[in-house]
Amino acid sequence: MKDNYDFFREHEAQEEAWLSKRPICAKCGEPIQDEYAYDLYDDGDLVCEDCKDEILQEHRIDVDDYVQERGNGW
């Protein structure tokens, strides 16, 4: 008869098997557990939701500052 520890071990084994099939985030190196992943540079390297947010934050610019620095010469 199985006890709670046996059920716990079975559950852990199922979780590990599921994680082993998930793609790995190119930025943090962890399995992507979210529903979506992002190929931001169209190079096949996927990133997770959290890393996508970090990358976008790193590349965010203030448009008004950009226009002021560059003038009207795009």
User: Bridge partners of 38?
Assistant: 47
User: Bridge partners of 47?
Assistant: 38
pLDDT band of 74, cuts 50, 70, 90: low
Number of domains comprising the chain: 1
**Per-residue pLDDT reduced to its tens digit, 7-46:** 999 999 999 999 999 999 999 999 999 999 999 999 999 9
pTM for the whole structure: 0.75
**Per-residue pLDDT reduced to its tens digit, 36-51:** 999 999 999 999 999 9
- Closest of 52, 11, 43, 47 to residue 29, by C-alpha: 47
Q: Name the token pair of 3.
A: 């006890």
First-to-last alpha carbon distance for the chain, in angstroms, is 74
Q: Tell me which residue range forms the domain holding 40.
A: 4-70
**DSSP at 31:** B
